[in-house]
Structure 1
Amino acid sequence: MARKKRSHEYKLSEETRKRMSEAQKGKSMKPETRAKLSAARKGVPRSPEARAAISAGKLGKKRSPAECQAIREGMRKRRERLKREKQ
């Protein structure tokens, strides 16, 4: 008896992929779902190849003042949290 093909064993046509994409557009996840997905990825290390690709994509780009401020704020909060945990 032949087994059913698994999802990674066949390719979807471009037309099918486009229909699936259109069906998902405009939908948003519940905050609980987003939190679960986020938690599932936390602490998972990236491969050296992935890290290199991210680094190459950011190389030479200037940060906006708003982006710099957000980084400063995030680092401040992190330092405060670490200080509280140490005590």
Structure 2
Amino acid sequence: MSRDPLDDVLHSWRPEGRLPARFQAEVWERVAGRSREAVPAARLSRGAWVLFVAAVLLAFLLATGQASRWEKKRWSELKAQYFQEIDPQALASAQRRP
């Protein structure tokens, strides 16, 4: 394995001067503080929950209302078809229509 000539220089280098007292502890405190700021809150506020529940309730009511309308329409179609099949005059008039 070839050695880089700078390896010896880098291993022998020692910084001059001293770091301020508690330097490392302060750096880690700043890192911890910033990491807390960067993480978004996992819980929704009460207002957000109220909006969420209201939206779900509205969607549910709209869906059930639409399903009810479809069911009424289908029921009336089935009822008309039934009466048309058991009433010969209604059946004859329906067959005459194009």
Q: TM-score, normalised by structure 2?
A: 0.28
Please state which structure has a larger fraction of its residues in helix: 2
- Structure having the higher Rg: 2
Higher relative contact order (CA 8 A, sep 6+): 2
Q: TM-score, normalised by structure 1?
A: 0.31
